[in-house]
């Protein structure tokens, strides 16, 4: 859902960006790939995630199995977002979550990185020669309610 509803629409606006040259890399979770699922000697069915990637991008690459350090940069950045943004005690519902993550994203994208002399948003505009840019706003894509809470 994220790739289809958020990342792909964001990337399409960059007309000079050839999406067929982009490799999407994920971990080996079953939400991304079926290639490590036991399939009684047959090739596993290609996941719907991989099929979407193959349609819109160059290819889908996964990290090495049982190679936990391969995604440590992503996990470190994810942890910093949780620490800086989601640790607010006043987030008690989805509306508050969207509000706080929107504020965090806007602050992050527009904050000047002193060592570089530009904000992330300014760098994207400069790189792609854009006057303005539409970036994804936080949204709730799906909520799974466990059977015990229904």
Q: Are residues 54 and 111 in the same domain?
A: no
Residue 148 lies in a domain: no
Please give the average per-residue pLDDT across 91-102, as a whole number.
85
Q: With a threshold of 0.85, does the pTM exceed it?
A: no
Which pairs from 120-125 meet CB under 8 Å and 24+ separation?
none
With contact defined as beta carbons under 8 Å apart, do 102 and 138 qualify? yes
Average pLDDT over residues 12-25: 90
pLDDT average, residue stretch 70-80: 72
Which pair of structure tokens corresponds to residue 46? 């290609």
- Rounded Cα–Cα distance for residues 77 and 81 (Å): 6
**What would the mean pLDDT of 81-105 be, rounded to a whole number?**
80
Q: What is the pLDDT of residues 105-127, one digit of tens each?
A: 898 889 998 888 999 999 989 98
The verdict on 52 and 86 lying in the same domain is: no
Q: What residues make up the domain containing 100?
A: 70-139
> What's the pLDDT at 145?
60
User: CA nearest 36: which of 44, 47, 25?
Assistant: 44
The average confidence (pLDDT) of the chain is: 82
Domain match, 37 and 85 both: no
- Number of domains forming the structure of the chain: 2
Shared-domain flag, residues 30 and 76: no
- Residues 54 and 112 occupy one common structural domain: no
């Amino acid at each position: 859902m994220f790739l289809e509803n958020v990342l792909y629409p964001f990337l399409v606006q960059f007309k000079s960006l050839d999406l067929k040259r982009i490799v999407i890399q994920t971990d080996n979770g079953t939400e991304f790939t079926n290639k490590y699922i036991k399939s009684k000697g047959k090739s596993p069915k290609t996941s719907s995630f991989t099929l979407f990637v193959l349609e819109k991008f160059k290819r889908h690459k996964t990290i090495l199995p049982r190679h936990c350090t391969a995604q440590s940069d992503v996990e470190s950045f994810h942890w910093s977002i949780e620490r800086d943004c989601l640790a607010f005690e006043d987030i008690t519902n989805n509306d508050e979550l969207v509000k706080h993550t929107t504020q965090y994203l806007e602050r992050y994208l527009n904050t000047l990185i002193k060592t570089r002399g530009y904000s992330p948003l300014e760098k994207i505009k400069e790189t792609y020669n854009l006057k303005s840019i539409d970036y994804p706003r936080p949204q709730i894509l799906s909520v799974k309610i466990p059977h015990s809470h229904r």
